A = this chain, B = another copy of it.
Amino acid sequence: MSSQPAHPTLLIPGPIEFDDAVLQSMGHYSESHVAAGFVATFGETLTLLRQLFQTTNPASQPFVINGSGTLGWDLVAVNLVEPGEDALVLSTGYFGDGFADCLRAYGANVTKLDGPIGGRPQVADVEKALKEKKYKILTVTHVDTSTGVLSDIKSIAAAVKKVSPETLVIVDGVCSVACEELAFDEWGLDGVVTAGQKAIGCPAGQSISMFSGRAIQVVQNRKTEPATYFASMKRWLPIMQNYEAKKPSYFATPSPQLVHALNTALKQILSKPLSERFSKHIEVSDRVKKTVTDMGLKIVATKPEDQSHAMTAIYLPEGVAIPDVLPKLLSKGIIFAGGIHKEIGTKYIRFGHMGITAVDPRRNDVDKALEALKTALGECGYKA
């Protein structure tokens, strides 16, 4: 158990609550980034990521780089697309729009397919777009943290394989990796970018990604050099390969403490079958969604098949504002997040139910949160 003082339960869609063992790994004594002990830990961590992403293809390449989850977008935008090349971005909210902005910043020619608010672009529309133009990459946000909309990655990847097999399929998995089913090899993905502080359950500070052998080939065969230094996959590639082969290597100093924390988090996750973990997240998510619907509230992600199992974005009742309800929740020891959608951001709140909150049976986070929500809304004058 933690020696930390009691603190409110953090149930935003990331950062999430962290396990005590993960936090203790953050305080690991100082090590050289090229010493045998740390090299072994980093190498093992990279190998564990292969399991998490469900890839056994030796050509797949994991990357762990100091940065925020956002850095994953830059990795994709500067390494896999050359200026002037076409990218198809499927957007289901703020983060899909952000990925498009990032691609544009590096000179990609972006076509954005937007889902309706609370929904996702349909596979038929994606197929139609792919037939109209040859795209270098397609990007899709698995769970858009702004709306809680889930994308159907398997069907989209299948559509790309059918209509435009040369197009690289890139998934923003920041809010999905380690809680939503994501089968890198089986679905034929070319890149998944994520971060530690959501369902993986590791403090923020690392960009974590997996790229296919095909994506690595695209990087190696570019016509132009990518205009970046720190985000250059070509520079990081031998470093990651060396670490995984337990050989010291240097490009920029990793954070040994964050790598230890990620190692601990991954071992906890992989100590049980992933299928069990995904089922548990579905079970918890279903319970949350049923309870808030029973309270007469509406969920931002409209259709059940479009709803993520990582989080729930919940419309507030008429007359209840975010600045009223969040402090009332905090007074009951619960932290939710406000909305961040450009059109409806002030109208809803977000409840993250990932990681130990969903899978640790010793915790009572979800029930406590649902009870607190009911009471807080009552205090705001709302009757279910």
Contact = CB atoms under 8 A, between A and B. Distances in A.
A35 interface: yes
Contact of A26 (B2, B10, B27): B27
Given A77-B229, A105-B227, 13 more contacts: A2-B29, A4-B28, A10-B32, A15-B256, A65-B68, A66-B71, A70-B251, A105-B226, A105-B228, A105-B229, A106-B227, A205-B255, A258-B258
A265 to B, nearest CB: 12
A77 B359 CA distance: 44
Given A27-B26, A197-B253, A225 B105 contact: yes
Interface in A211-258: 225-232, 250-258
Contacts of A152: none
16 contacts: A4-B27, A4-B29, A10-B31, A26-B27, A32-B337, A34-B337, A65-B68, A69-B253, A70-B230, A70-B253, A74-B231, A78-B228, A105-B226, A204-B256, A231-B231, A255-B258
Contacts of A71: 66-67, 230, 252
A257 B4 CA distance: 13
A113 interface: no
Contacts of A4: 27-29
A229 B102 contact: yes
A148 interface: no
A335 B204 contact: no
Interface residues of A, number: 65
A205 B258 contact: yes
Interface string A1-29: 01010010010101111100001101111
Contacts of A231: 74, 230-231
A106 B206 CA distance: 23
Interface of A: 2, 4, 7, 10, 12, 14-18, 23-24, 26-35, 65-71, 73-74, 77-78, 83, 101-102, 105-107, 195, 197, 203-206, 225-232, 250-258, 335, 337, 340
A14 B17 CA distance: 31
A116 to B, nearest CB: 24
A78 B227 CA distance: 9
A242 to B, nearest CB: 15
B252 A15 contact: no
Contact of A67 (B18, B67, B83, B106): B67
Contacts of A28: 4, 23
Given A16-B30, A204-B255, A107 B229 contact: no
Given A105-B225, A229-B106, A203 B10 contact: no
Given A10-B31, A29-B7, A30-B10, A74 B253 contact: no
